[in-house]
Structure 1
Amino acid sequence: MLLARLHLASGEKPYSPADLHKKLSQVRDWALASYPMGKGYFTFSFASDAAVSMVWAQGAVSLKPGVLRFMRWTPNFSPANQRNTNAQVWVRLWDLGLQFWEPVTLFEIANGIGVPVKIDQNTLERKFGLFARVLVDVDLTSSPPCELAIRRSNGEVAVVELEYERLPDFCTHCGNVGHRVTACKLVQKPDSAARIRE
């Protein structure tokens, strides 16, 4: 068995188990059964160890919309105790030559940041040449890069500057996306701790 968390952008409709199974069968030819656990988590069961290894090797799957991120199954798993460390963020790739604007190439570049989800329509249609824009599922446990080095076919290296649109807050105390450590409910304030002891 494997666990997975479905990450959706704000406003995107959650998948039912049947919709998720149908979507996965369109993306990958996998024989699996899924069971919802709440808070976007699913348990997946497989017919063989080989099937588990094949899916586990993927790490994450872009569903368009959404990203399904796989993790190892644990016996006492509870969605309430899990940390949410990922967020989908629009990333601007500045000063990127138009020869890199093919969707496959943009996804390869975005892999250096996280799991690419989709490309902005204006970028696909090349309506705005100042920067390319890609939606990427980013793990915020480490600081996302400010630039990427891209090696051209002739051996030259181009450095691409990255700009993140509305990068969400990340709490270094509880390890969850959505607030800073100064607003974390799990951080006990010194004065409140003193009142409890009195």
Structure 2
Amino acid sequence: MNEVLRQDPWMVGPNSLILKQWSPSFSMEMEKVAKVSIWILFPGLDPYLWSDVVLSKMASKVGKPLFADPVSTAKSKLSFARVLVEADVSHDLPTHVNINTPHLGQVSQKIIYEWLPYFCKCCGKLGHTSSTCKWNKPTDTVF
């Protein structure tokens, strides 16, 4: 059990699976979670920038880089690089990252998110948005 819990993140398709140890006080109510593991893509990445160091620096603009997928590491498919990051989805995530390079100058690299979870800024939980949150009461004022 401890080994399974340590092997975070678990991925089911493109989605993160969050595992928690059961306890007698366990509740089915979702707890507040804002940091999730998500795959990000860097499409059309210049071959000059295709290295573990540069991919890690670019990914760190989104969150904590965890690892690049094996295809990206082996440079088998050069149409995009793919990196798993732990990102805080309670904030807006960047769509581009700017990189200063000695040979190319400043480069703007597009970021594509393979999947983003629904996050409610009203209650701080994953799985729905503020517009469907049961805690988001309309402010109807009657005079």
Aligned length: 126
Secondary structure, counterpart of 1:105 in structure 2: helix
Structure with greater helix share of residues: 1
Distance in 1, Cα, partners of 2:30 & 2:42:
35
1:127 aligns with 2:76: yes
Who is 2:116 aligned against?
167
Aligned partner of 1:141: which letter? S
1:105 to 54, 61, 77: 54
Deviations 1:136-190, CA, capped at 9 Å, x for gaps: 1111122100100000024700110010011111112112222112332323478
Who is 2:37 aligned against?
88
Who is 2:101 aligned against?
152
Who is 1:46 aligned against?
none
Distance in 2, Cα, partners of 1:149 & 1:123:
20
Secondary structure, counterpart of 2:36 in structure 1: strand
Q: Structure 1's 155 and 102: CA in aligned 2 closer, same or farther, altered over 3 A?
A: closer
Who is 1:186 aligned against?
135
Who is 2:92 aligned against?
143
Q: Which runs of 4+ in 1 moved over 3 A?
A: 9-16
Who is 2:9 aligned against?
8
Distance in 1, Cα, partners of 2:10 & 2:135:
26
Residue 104 of structure 1: how far off its partner (Å): 2.4
| Residues 86, 177 of structure 1: 8 Å contact kept | no
Residue 94 of structure 1: how far off its partner (Å): 1.7
Q: Structure 1's 81 and 13: CA in aligned 2 closer, same or farther, altered over 3 A?
A: closer
In the alignment, structure 1 segments of 5+ residues that lack a partner are 1-5, 17-35, 40-79, 191-198
Q: If the length of structure 2 is used for normalisation, what is the TM-score? A: 0.73
Distance in 2, Cα, partners of 1:175 & 1:91:
23
Deviations 1:2-28, CA, capped at 9 Å, x for gaps: xxxx86334569588xxxxxxxxxxxx
Distance in 2, Cα, partners of 1:177 & 1:160:
28
Superposed CA RMSD: 3.0
* The structure with more radius of gyration: 1
Q: If the length of structure 1 is used for normalisation, what is the TM-score? A: 0.54
Q: Which moved more, 1:107-116 or 1:172-181?
A: 172-181
| Residues 174, 186 of structure 1: 8 Å contact kept | yes
